[in-house]
A and B are shown apart, each in its own frame.
Chain A
């Protein structure tokens, strides 16, 4: 009698729970899970969009083999990794330093935080367009570099070696505000007693920064490394607007190449295979970090 009642109550709870999540689950199945599996499926076919739905042949992983001989893919992969390796450490380290200065040594921090945060909430398309002009020979960025003593700066977006760096600078500018914000709130939550103890021991500000602040912020750093990395692997809009992958292939990145193969060459099968490689890369990177985190993140 008692058991029956308990069971039916659990069943009722189940029904209630599933009703609450029903719209959500439906959305996820239709627009995430199903497309994910479908894209895995077509990544093993030679599907050309112009041939119509269903008109595909299995090529048993040929896409995954072909891409390593495809110069556009390999340079896009290389550029994506290079770009991420530049964006992630620089934007995180700069953000950490700025956040510490802002929180601990600064008057009137709120308006300054807002100023640094403005690029992050800006429409990336509008911002990229403004930066194209910034990099032109008469744009403020080039003029500023000249004023700093570099008399013949490179052609930035028009230069094979500098174009990716130019995009990177823009990306760091636009994402750093978020990182500062997250660090700031983490710093506000740091226990003050440790610092007071260090003060008593006569530790310098630099020592405190390296010995206390950095280690105790490691969970935040870990979070930011993952999100920044994921975002930089998926960079698209700045590339599409500022360089279209050029000059040559010097700024072609994975998502831009997926877009080109899918919606210019219409090779949906091949494009899906590349998308899956991107997905797997993200998974691997995140897994490595989850494992590594245990070693260098201290959660107190």
Chain B
């Protein structure tokens, strides 16, 4: 009897703690997304309404003109900020680098994990060390290199280095390490060579890992700012981050337009990541497990 009461008490206590904690976390989550909510709400107000206090989180009426002029829909905007071009450029670079680096990383990751070639350990150690090199250190030489090759003014300075990622190689190696050697050995006996094993057996097995890496690469490229700032020179090449900063510099005080532009840069990526978050989270965690 007493014991039962105690159990009930503990159960109730646990339940109350759970409710309190959930409430706390809900509160914090709301604070975390406040900037986004505010951005959305301000992006659908007129310029004057953005400054009105207290803040109206849900505007009285939705004002789509901000998005129309940011995107220059119908071609009537006074200044065309070429957001569409920037979007295509960002997508193009992100996807080329995504396919390129997933391919190179899967090849090399497999070699480091499953092929016992001489020097592989030394080279892999070198890779680990190279992960430490901040990209800022190599920025000026890369700039000089691309400049003397005459590649400035195009997307090659962003694409070529992006085709290989050291972190990606590392991730794929970790992934292949988990796959049992028996799988490979069985195929060897069947007379398949390394490449056939890689293409027919390993790649299908490694698909989840590749998907995770793909999401990461996409994110890195989509958000790459410093390189784009230094390497891109006119609007026909701009990617989203650079187009966005230029936009802000030119329409500094039109907070509503700035918010609409920012929202335009963010929302599609949210959509992509909500759809693929399972892979993405796995990729991030895999990178962390044996850092």
Residues of A within 8 A of B (CB): 10, 13-18, 20-21, 23-28, 30-36, 38-39, 42, 53, 98, 101-102, 105-109, 111-112, 114-116, 118-119, 121-127, 129-131, 133-134, 138-140, 143, 173, 177-178, 181-182, 185, 205, 220, 223-224, 226-227, 230, 233-234, 236-237, 240-241, 255, 258-259, 262-263, 268, 271-272, 275-276, 278-279, 282-283, 286
- In the complex, whether B142 has a CB less than 8 A from a CB of chain A is yes
B 92-124 to A, binary, CB cutoff 8 A, 1 in contact else 0: 000000000001110110111001111110010
- In the complex, whether B58 has a CB less than 8 A from a CB of chain A is no
The chain A residue with its CB closest to the CB of B103 is: A23
Q: Can you name 12 A-B pairs with beta carbons within 8 Å?
A: A16-B111, A17-B111, A24-B164, A30-B160, A98-B28, A112-B26, A125-B240, A126-B261, A130-B35, A134-B35, A140-B34, A181-B284
CB distance from A156 to the nearest CB of B (A): 14
Contact B112 A21 (CB under 8 A): yes
The SS class assigned to the B binding surface is helix
- In the complex, whether B62 has a CB less than 8 A from a CB of chain A is no
Known A182-B288, A259-B226: A13·B115 in contact at CB below 8 Å? yes
B 258-287 to A, binary, CB cutoff 8 A, 1 in contact else 0: 110111011001100110010011001100
The chain A residue with its CB closest to the CB of B135 is: A234
CB distance from B151 to the nearest CB of A (A): 12
- In the complex, whether B127 has a CB less than 8 A from a CB of chain A is yes
Among B25, B55, B133, B255, which residue has the most Cβ atoms of chain A within 10 A? Answer: B25
User: CA A16 – CA B117 in complex, angstroms?
Assistant: 8
CB distance from B10 to the nearest CB of A (A): 10
Q: Sorted from nearest, which 3 A-B pairs have the closest CB atoms?
A: A17-B117, A27-B164, A35-B141
Among A17, A42, A127, A240, the residue within 8 A (CB) of B141 is: A42
- In the complex, whether B29 has a CB less than 8 A from a CB of chain A is yes
- In the complex, whether B136 has a CB less than 8 A from a CB of chain A is yes
Contact A35 B32 (CB under 8 A): no
Contacts of B33 in A (CB 8 A): 115, 118
Known A127-B35, A182-B285: A282·B21 in contact at CB below 8 Å? no
Contacts of B134 in A (CB 8 A): 230, 233-234, 255, 275, 278-279, 282
Among B32, B38, B130, the residue within 8 A (CB) of A116 is: B32
CB distance from B180 to the nearest CB of A (A): 19
Contacts of A240 in B (CB 8 A): 225, 229
Contact A125 B140 (CB under 8 A): no
The chain B residue with its CB closest to the CB of A109 is: B25
Contacts of A101 in B (CB 8 A): 21, 24-25
The SS class assigned to the A binding surface is helix
The chain B residue with its CB closest to the CB of A283 is: B132
The chain A residue with its CB closest to the CB of B26 is: A112
Contact B108 A125 (CB under 8 A): no
Contact A134 B111 (CB under 8 A): no
User: CA A240 – CA B227 in complex, angstroms?
Assistant: 13
Count residues of chain B with CB under 8 A from any CB of chain A.
96
User: CA A200 – CA B284 in complex, angstroms?
Assistant: 36
CB distance from A196 to the nearest CB of B (A): 14
User: CA A116 – CA B245 in complex, angstroms?
Assistant: 25
- In the complex, whether B230 has a CB less than 8 A from a CB of chain A is yes
User: CA A140 – CA B255 in complex, angstroms?
Assistant: 14
User: CA A28 – CA B160 in complex, angstroms?
Assistant: 11
Contact B136 A130 (CB under 8 A): no
Known A124-B225, A181-B284: A276·B137 in contact at CB below 8 Å? yes
CB distance from B59 to the nearest CB of A (A): 15
For the A-B complex with A24-B169, A112-B25, A115-B32 known, give 19 more contacts whose Cβ atoms are closer than 8 Å.
Answer: A14-B119, A16-B194, A21-B112, A27-B161, A34-B141, A36-B133, A39-B138, A39-B141, A53-B147, A106-B25, A127-B35, A129-B244, A133-B259, A173-B32, A227-B288, A227-B291, A234-B136, A272-B141, A275-B137
Contacts of A134 in B (CB 8 A): 35, 38
User: CA A123 – CA B242 in complex, angstroms?
Assistant: 11
Contact A106 B111 (CB under 8 A): no
User: CA A240 – CA B163 in complex, angstroms?
Assistant: 27
Contacts of B32 in A (CB 8 A): 115-116, 118-119, 173, 177
CB distance from A105 to the nearest CB of B (A): 4
Known A13-B116, A31-B164, A118-B270: A20·B108 in contact at CB below 8 Å? yes
